[in-house]
Structure 1
């Protein structure tokens, strides 16, 4: 049986109360297999970002539970939760979130230094640092600041930063949303390689069928619930499912 990197157990997330209550998640249960690339997709308001934020310990569900590996998040105090996010989880965001005054190398190693790790590579294995940097093609950009790099290069820095600490799982929120098609393909290619070659586990929220086609599995949400999934998807299959979900959403609003 394949190992489970993260698990959602009957997750509910509600905002507001009474007539204004919004059910962002409505009983979601989901296993994220280790060493796989999983996409979460759905129409706007379907709950996909909320689900990722709960899985990544960035938000707390109203009820239900999340497990990262064998650790149940609801049983952790704030300090332990912060440690788990820092040591077990990597993040890649649409907006890059790089520190403008730091070089690419410093941005990549920043989470390790913030964790109190010492040494010229923040306690990271030098060979692993070199592997990550060379895989994302940043060797000649390590001394450049974000303003001296293209959007695609900045996002590759963010990907390297997410992986350098060897997290158990990486969450990517629309990682190609601010990139042109060429830069987006470079970032997605790196994420795919990190799964295939480095046994990484990646969960990506995206609205883009091309981006999702890089994944092993696509999970579809609608109205806060999982409604479908595809394994080994291609762009046409994903587009067909998304079109059907969008049409259903429009009918529901009519």
Structure 2
């Protein structure tokens, strides 16, 4: 699928499958998926409920292991890595934004943003921290705790946390799922800006056509397989294709 893209893939899957259970209880969440996610692009993954989109994201991010096939982040192959090696790769190369924000309630906004650097015992890059915070528009919330923020503010803090470590790729799993339309637009515009202005690579799972329209291209899954993809998506075109797929 990457033949049209000049950029080298930031993440790549080759014939990956993920099977849960055995015998009559076997569920094939992914069934021989091969895909490249190009560097410096905003990619979205969509499909009906149970299509395997979140499983694909979790496997490609190194959060879950595949049953068969091969995976790479840049030039590093994940398949065959030890748990310790995977942990190090996720810490050094991968950013995450989840639907549930996953902020630490006892920490301020600034402390949540710099938490990965603190865990890795690294000093945050102050100029970059300030640039990301300014781009996200949450400078006024850095001294507040999550309970004092709106959902949109919490998610923008989570997005800043994902980007401040300068990861090779950011995986976002339904990042607007808990937000109203105004907050969703704010988060999506920031993710879009991070690609356009910072050269970030983003892979986002979403069920919302309006969210997918912010991406450069959309990949569609059904029954654990890639069934279509769309360049320069619009919400209307995405919705029409989802209806065809039964999503």
TM interval, short-chain normalised: over 0.9
What is aligned with 1:73?
A: 78
Unaligned runs of 5+ in 1: 118-122, 248-254
What is aligned with 2:141?
A: 141
Q: Does 1:12 align with 2:17?
A: yes
Q: Distance in 1 between matches of 2:153 and 2:91?
A: 23
Alignment of 1:85-164 (within 5 A): 85-117=90-122, 123-164=123-164
Q: Distance in 2 between matches of 1:48 and 1:163?
A: 22
Q: Distance in 1 between matches of 2:207 and 2:83?
A: 32
1:68-89 per-position Cα deviation (integer Å, ceiling 9, x unaligned): 0000001322211111000100
1:89-129 per-position Cα deviation (integer Å, ceiling 9, x unaligned): 00000000000010000000001111121xxxxx2221110
With structure 1 as the length reference, what TM-score do the two structures score? 0.94
What is aligned with 2:3?
A: none
Task: Report the secondary structure of 2:114's partner residue.
Answer: helix
Q: Distance in 1 between matches of 2:38 and 2:192?
A: 15
What is aligned with 1:25?
A: 30
Q: Distance in 1 between matches of 2:62 and 2:79?
A: 10
* 55, 62, 76: which one aligns with 1:57: 62
Q: Distance in 2 between matches of 1:82 and 1:7?
A: 18
Displacement of 1:47 after TM fit?
0.4
Q: Distance in 2 between matches of 1:226 and 1:130?
A: 39
Task: Report the secondary structure of 2:70's partner residue.
Answer: strand
What is aligned with 2:182?
A: 182
Displacement of 1:195 after TM fit?
0.2
Unaligned runs of 5+ in 2: 1-5
Task: Report the secondary structure of 2:207's partner residue.
Answer: coil
What is aligned with 1:36?
A: 41
1:155-182 per-position Cα deviation (integer Å, ceiling 9, x unaligned): 0000000000000000000000000000
Task: Report the secondary structure of 1:40's partner residue.
Answer: strand
Task: Report the secondary structure of 1:65's partner residue.
Answer: strand
Structure 1 segments (4+ residues) deviating >4 Å: none
What is aligned with 1:194?
A: 194
Displacement of 1:5 after TM fit?
0.1
Task: Report the secondary structure of 2:11's partner residue.
Answer: strand
Q: Distance in 1 between matches of 2:24 and 2:125?
A: 54
1:23-42 per-position Cα deviation (integer Å, ceiling 9, x unaligned): 10000000000000000000
Please tell me the root mean square deviation across aligned C-alpha atoms, in Å.
0.8
Q: Distance in 2 between matches of 1:25 and 1:80?
A: 24
1:10-68 per-position Cα deviation (integer Å, ceiling 9, x unaligned): 00000111111111000000000000000000000100000000000000000001100
What is aligned with 1:252?
A: none
- Count matched residues: 242
